Chain A
Amino acid sequence: MPNNVIEVRQITKVFKDGTKALDDVSLDIVKNQVTVIIGPSGSGKSTLLRTLNLLEIPSSGQVFFEGTDLTSKGLDMNKHREKMGMVFQGFYLFPHLSVLDNLTVAPITVKKESPETAINRAKILLKQVGLSEKEQSYPNQLSGGQKQRIAIARALCMEPDVMLFDEPTSALDPEMIGEVLNVMRSLANQGMTMVVVTHEMGFAKEFGDHIVVMDQGKIIEEGTPEIIFNTPKNKRTQEFLRRVIEKA
């Protein structure tokens, strides 16, 4: 229990239009591990990730974050979201703010940090993602890979306990994928707890501690990369991996 940062218990998500995106899903996110969620398009990977910080509210079931039930009524969700960083496929940097302001707006507004404190940390993080020289730039002056690295730094500025990634490299030109994966790698090496939805099987094999395979709103198989990639038991996992490898 103390080693699980997040515990998902039997969540189901039915959208307004009747689509059942998650069907009785339970999952543990273990501290300091990289959990990678894979599966075919439409299988519910994004929906599952988004229920972890309640951007999507489960229709039933519970999500525990550091022991607190996030689905309980009257809970101040914002306090918990602070501690969960999220990185989106579409970056979503704030276009009206400079890079530095993108990084400091949340610490200053939410944590009431002094601008100096926030700026200092922002500069350290910009250095970590290799973009110190861009602090005065605006998002529309950055390449896709740079935007995503800034987005990661922005999430890290809140000093989260866990980082959620939803296909962080899918919107990038191939030559820019590497720079983003490098940043994620160094995060993993620092022991950050990460949940990553990705099509990058290379990253999953190399850095995943735990692989979760989804299909049709269910987790159909989970285990270490060795087991999932070398000796998958589930037929649909085998099929999915065959298709992915054929494509690559």
Chain B
Amino acid sequence: MNFSFLLDPYYQSLLLQGLFVTLVLALLAVFIGTLLALGLAIVRMSSFKPLKFIVVAYVEIIRGTPIVVQLIIMYSLLRLPVMLINNFDISPFIPGMFTLFINSSAYMSEVVRAGVASVDKGQSEAGRSLGLTQGQTFRKIILPQAIKNILPALGNEFVTLIKETSVLMYSGVAELTYQASMIKSETYSFMESYLVAAVLYFALTFPTSKLMAYLERRMKKADAK
């Protein structure tokens, strides 16, 4: 085993960059995915059948197919022109990001829907009986209560996404797995570079899971009072 690359500042910076990109991607995907999911959940709870059907189909298809396949399809669908930001072409990243957002939105939409459904029906009737519109009732009464049920699942989705961002290496996004493969091909430390990547992933996911479990316990305790 040869871990000597770990002492090289150049490889250190590659790994740190990868870690950073992974984290940012996962955060973005959770955030945007949840916003999209909120929209999807609202449509799904509405009474407009055709739109409802489209949303259900979307969610089922995304959840029923592998993310790598989705990425490749997205990649061939979105043939983007070169887009320069700071002299740096970001067009290859966009299909990957899209795939990640779409994926996360499909999973989160189920979570959001369940969270909303778990709020007592009497709450919305109480809101409506006071003259609040359906939208006002949703925003002021239902959603704040639903978020409590959604939060733990949000944490789980974040952990999942930290791992799933690794598929973006296929589209050349310099996240952690991509950097590990770079190090591997430069140092020929095949297993070692991926072992380091695994440890770094775990260093992100394990504390996050633990933190979420802790927050959930605390929220339950506060509720019991």
Contact = CB atoms under 8 A, between A and B. Distances in A.
B125 A55 contact: yes
Given A140-B223, A140-B225, A81 B131 contact: yes
Contacts of B132: 78, 105-106, 109-110
B129 interface: yes
Contacts of A83: 131
Interface residues on A, range: 20 to 34
Contacts of A92: 120, 122-123, 125-126
A154 interface: yes
A97 to B, nearest CB: 8
Nearest to B123: A92
Contacts of A96: 144-145, 148
Interface stretch (B101-109, B133-141, B167-175, B191-199): B133-141
Interface in B122-170: 122-123, 125-133, 136, 140-141, 144-145, 148
A56 to B, nearest CB: 10
A158 interface: yes
A93 B225 CA distance: 16
Contacts of B223: 140
A90 B132 CA distance: 19
A95 B130 contact: no
Given A96-B145, A140-B223, A140-B225, A84 B129 contact: yes
B125 A94 contact: no
A139 to B, nearest CB: 11
A195 interface: no
Contacts of B125: 55, 86, 88, 92
A235 interface: no
A79 interface: yes
Contact of B130 (A90, A140, A141, A154): A154
Contacts of A106: 127, 130-132
Given A55-B128, A94-B141, A140-B225, A78 B133 contact: yes
B124 to A, nearest CB: 9
A85 interface: yes
Contact of B131 (A93, A94, A158): A158
Interface string A150-165: 0100110010000000
Contacts of B130: 81-82, 85, 105-106, 110, 154-155, 158
B122 to A, nearest CB: 4
A10 B140 CA distance: 36
Contact of B122 (A84, A90, A111, A141): A90
A86 B132 CA distance: 13
Given A92-B120, A96-B145, A53 B129 contact: yes
A92 B130 CA distance: 12
Contact of A79 (B123, B131, B136): B131
Contacts of B128: 55, 78, 81
B140 A105 contact: yes
A53 B128 CA distance: 10
Contacts of A81: 128-131
Interface string B1-21: 000000000000000000000
Given A81-B129, A85-B130, A141-B225, 5 more contacts: A78-B133, A79-B131, A94-B123, A96-B145, A106-B127
Interface of A: 53, 55, 78-79, 81-86, 88, 90, 92-96, 105-106, 109-111, 140-141, 151, 154-155, 158
Interface of B: 120, 122-123, 125-133, 136, 140-141, 144-145, 148, 223, 225
3 tightest Cβ-Cβ pairs between the two chains A and B: A82-B131, A106-B130, A92-B126
18 contacts: A55-B125, A55-B129, A78-B131, A81-B128, A81-B129, A83-B131, A84-B129, A88-B122, A90-B122, A92-B126, A94-B145, A95-B145, A96-B144, A105-B130, A106-B132, A110-B132, A151-B126, A155-B129
